[in-house]
Amino acid sequence: MRLEDINIRDPFVLPYGGVYYMYGTRAKTCWGKADGFDCYTSSDLVTWDGPFEVFHKPEDFWADKNYWAPEVHVYKGSFYMFATFNSEALDKKGTMILSSDDPLGTFKIHSEGKITPDEWNCLDGTFYLSPDQKPYMVFSHEWMDVGDGQICAVELSEDLKRPVSEPRTLFCASMAKPWVKSITHRLWDGPVYVTDGPFLHRLKNGELIMLWATMADQGYAEGIARSDNGDISGNWTVDNKPLFDKDGGHGMLFETFEGELFLVLHQPNETPLEHPVFIKLDEKDIS
C-alpha cells in the first residue's frame, strides 16, 4: 500500500536496520474504545506492508479507550514505546511506556503505571536523552485541565520504569501568539489553546528544537520551540511563525538511511480522512 491508503493519525517513523517502521494511532478507534497499536514497514518510503499489530490490550489492562500516539525509541539495546491511554471508568488520559526486543513487538507494559500524574489529563509522551545521558519524557498537559495547554518534561529512572522528578512546564501554547488560534469547548469557560505531539530534535549546530502541534488559521498546525542552552533544562521560546499550517500536524522528524531529512505528520486533521504525509526538508528550513 501507499501512504494515502494508510488511515492513521500521529505517524511516527523509526528507521532501523534498513527498514522504516511507521507507528500511529488507529484513526477508526481514535475517539472511543480501542485495543491496540499497529506498525507498517517499508524499505523505500513509497510502498508499505502491514498493518502488523504490535500491541494488544492485555486482559486486565486498565485502559480501554483513546489509544494514542505510539512512538518507539531505541534505548540501551531495547525498543520502548511511549503511548497515551484512557479509560471509560477513570477518564484521565496519561502516557505509559511499553517495551519489546523487536520493533514489531509484541510490546509489553514496562512502566509502573502512568509516567504522567494520575490527577492530570496528559498525552503524547516522547523520549529525550540529555547530553549527560539522563532520560526524560516530554508530554502535553492538556488544555482541559489548564485552558492554556502546556508542554512539560519529567526526568525518568534509568530503567524507564518511573518518574524521578516533578513535571516542569517548558512552555504553553499561548506563547505562539500571534499565529496560534484559540478554540472554544463546552468543557472550558473561555478560550482554549492546544498543545499536542511534542518531538525533540537536535540540529547539526547543537541547537535543541521541539516540534509541537496546535491550531492556526487554517486548522491543525506544526510549530517549533527552541531551548536557549541546548538542553531540556533551558528556557524555551516559540518561533513567531508555524513550520506547517495546512491542517496537518502531530509531526516528527527523521533521517533516511541516505541522510535526507523528512517531516512526517498526518493530514487532514479529520477522521476518517487522515493519512501520513512526508515532506522533505533542508535543515535550513528549521534553523
CA 265, 130, 242, 139 dihedral sign is: positive
Average pLDDT value for residue range 166-180: 98
Tell me the CATH number at 189. Answer: 2.115.10.20
Cα separation of 79 and 99, whole Å? 6
**Mean pLDDT of all residues belonging to the chain:** 97
- The pLDDT > 90 percentage for the chain reads 97
CA 117, 60, 156, 265 dihedral sign is: negative
Residue 200 belongs to domain spanning: 3-285
- The pLDDT > 70 percentage for the chain reads 100
Cα separation of 86 and 169, whole Å? 22
Which grid coordinates belong to 233?
533544562
Q: Over the stretch 87-103, which tens digit does the pLDDT of each residue have?
A: 999 999 999 999 999 99
Question: If DSSP codes are grouped into helix, strand and coil, which group holds residue 222?
Answer: strand
Is residue 271 exposed (0-12), middle (13-18) or buried (19+ Cβ within 10 Å)? middle
Q: What angle do CA 180, 124, 32 make, to 5 degrees?
A: 100
Q: Are strands 196-202 and 208-216 parallel, antiparallel or unpaired?
A: antiparallel
Are 92 and 112 in contact by the 8 Å Cβ rule? The answer is no
pTM of the model: 0.97
Q: What is the pLDDT of residue 143?
A: 94
Average pLDDT value for residue range 44-65: 97
Q: Over the stretch 178-194, which tens digit does the pLDDT of each residue have?
A: 999 999 888 888 899 99
Q: What is the pLDDT of residue 187?
A: 80
State the DSSP code for 117: -
State the DSSP code for 234: S
Q: Over the stretch 27-44, which tens digit does the pLDDT of each residue have?
A: 999 999 999 999 999 999
| pLDDT greater than 90 at residue 133 | yes
Number of domains in the chain: 1
